[in-house]
């Protein structure tokens, strides 16, 4: 049933549009949302354009300050480009070996970038070397997967979890990439098969995985991976199921989960995970419901959430979450409404947003967010 997952989500989004028209205000509680005008200095400017339209690509900040943008759902899925912040321009770099979209990209300790998997459930993997601008093949994963996660562990290994296989079915398997050996090995399976979930490395060295779609719908479940034992253990569940949402580790070590597709439609709710207690607590809600948005932790500790779709329209709006108050405040809006894009914090504190779609094609545009002063 190729593409079945995307058709089901399209139906869900269409249903939400109908419900929103009949039941105004059902996108979630208003919560704590700032009512002030956009914060001073929070603005967007257009920057150089990629060579081709991009959506569902990856973006990785390299040690030299450039950004590697690779793959994407477009006519050239093996395309790779570099964004140069000092010049505000993109430039072509070496072409990928396999390419694809909805894969993962992980910056290794060696400075190389590991790209793995992709739609429609491939198990390929390849490495980008910034010193040469060239891609090279590495060992393939054991399982085919897309919409999975990849997390760099403290010891340099990469943990890949879940995703959807060739038949658009969520899987529970996890595996480790060993950079010093250039190979993969299975590790413990998650308790839940899931795709479209999120994973973050906690300060204690464990990996928190939460949400996504399971075999019977959206998952509120969360679990912890211990790299020392290779085993998973249950932890507290979120207050609701979330798919294609964002999770951000905050400066105090807690984790912010925001938005995503709920049981039927996108949600504006947010909640905080406390590793010390293993529990989730609701926090202020965003001003609008969002799915396929991006979240970026800024140097001042605020979290910038941008774009996404509310189920009817692709959003230009952006807002800031203040962990010290649990309150969201509006900030400048992007020039283009977009979802399925990338957001990358640059070395100078600005945020690069690239590509994405408004539902009718891939954007060949990029913008920079200038944080509040």
- CA dist 163 → 9, 133, 134, 216 (Å): 16, 29, 27, 15
pLDDT value for 365: 97
Q: Assign residue 8 a region (left: φ > 0; alpha: ψ between -120 and 50; beta: otherwise).
A: alpha
Each of the 373 residues of the chain gets a pLDDT tens digit; together they read 334 444 334 334 333 333 333 333 333 333 454 444 445 459 999 999 999 899 999 999 999 999 999 999 986 778 999 999 999 999 999 999 999 999 999 999 999 999 999 997 799 999 999 999 999 999 999 999 999 999 999 999 999 999 999 999 999 999 999 999 999 999 999 999 999 999 999 999 999 999 999 988 889 999 999 999 999 999 999 999 999 999 999 999 999 999 999 988 999 999 999 999 999 999 999 999 999 999 999 999 999 999 999 999 999 999 999 999 999 999 999 999 999 999 999 999 999 999 999 888 899 999 999 997 7
| pTM for the whole structure | 0.90
For the stretch 160-191, what's the b/e string if a residue is b when 16 or more beta carbons lie within 10 angstroms of its beta carbon?
bbbbbbeebebbbbbbbbebeeeebeebebbe
User: Which of 284, 310, 298 is closest to 34 using CA atoms?
Assistant: 284
Q: Which residue ranges make up each domain of the chain? A: 4-370
User: Which of 133, 70, 68, 131 is closest to 98 using CA atoms?
Assistant: 70
pLDDT value for 156: 98
- Under 8 Å between Cβ of 71 and 57: yes
- Superfamily for 4-370? Kelch-type beta propeller (2.120.10.80)
Bridge partner residues of 138 (DSSP): none
Q: Between vectors from CA 196 to CA 334 and to CA 234, what angle results, nearest 5°?
A: 125
């Amino acid at each position: 049933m190729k593409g079945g997952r995307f058709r089901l989500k399209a139906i869900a989004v269409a249903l939400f549009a109908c419900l929103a028209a009949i039941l105004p205000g059902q996108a979630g509680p208003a919560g704590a949302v700032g009512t002030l005008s956009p914060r001073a200095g929070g603005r967007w400017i257009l920057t150089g354009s990629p060579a081709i339209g991009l959506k569902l690509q990856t973006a990785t900040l390299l040690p030299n300050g450039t950004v590697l943008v690779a793959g994407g759902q477009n006519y050239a899925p093996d395309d790779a480009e570099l964004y140069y912040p000092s010049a505000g321009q993109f430039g072509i770099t070496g072409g990928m070996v396999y390419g694809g979209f909805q894969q993962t990209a992980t910056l290794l300790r060696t400075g190389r970038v590991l790209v793995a998997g992709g739609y429609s459930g491939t198990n390929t993997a390849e490495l980008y070397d910034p010193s040469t601008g060239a891609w090279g093949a590495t060992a393939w994963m054991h399982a085919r997967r897309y919409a999975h996660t990849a997390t760099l562990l403290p010891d340099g290994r990469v943990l890949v979890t879940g995703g959807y296989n060739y038949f658009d079915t969520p899987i529970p398997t996890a595996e480790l990439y060993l950079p010093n050996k250039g190979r993969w090995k299975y590790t413990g399976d998650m308790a839940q098969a899931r795709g479209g979930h999120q994973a973050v490395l906690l300060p204690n060295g464990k990996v928190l995985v939460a949400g996504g779609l399971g075999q019977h719908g959206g998952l509120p479940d969360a679990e912890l991976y211990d790299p020392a034992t290779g085993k998973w253990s249950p932890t507290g569940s979120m207050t609701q199921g979330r798919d294609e949402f964002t999770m951000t580790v905050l400066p105090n070590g807690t984790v912010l989960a925001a938005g995503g597709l709920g049981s039927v439609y996108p949600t504006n709710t947010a909640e905080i995970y406390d590793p010390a207690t293993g529990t989730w607590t609701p926090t202020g809600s965003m001003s609008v419901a969002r799915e396929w948005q991006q979240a970026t932790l800024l140097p001042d500790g605020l979290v910038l959430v941008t774009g996404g779709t509310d189920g009817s329209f692709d959003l230009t709006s952006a807002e800031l979450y203040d962990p010290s108050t649990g309150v969201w405040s509006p900030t400048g809006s992007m020039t283009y409404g977009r979802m399925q894009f990338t957001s990358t914090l640059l070395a100078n504190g600005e945020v690069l947003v690239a590509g994405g779609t408004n539902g009718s094609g891939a954007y060949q545009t990029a913008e920079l967010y200038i944080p509040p002063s």
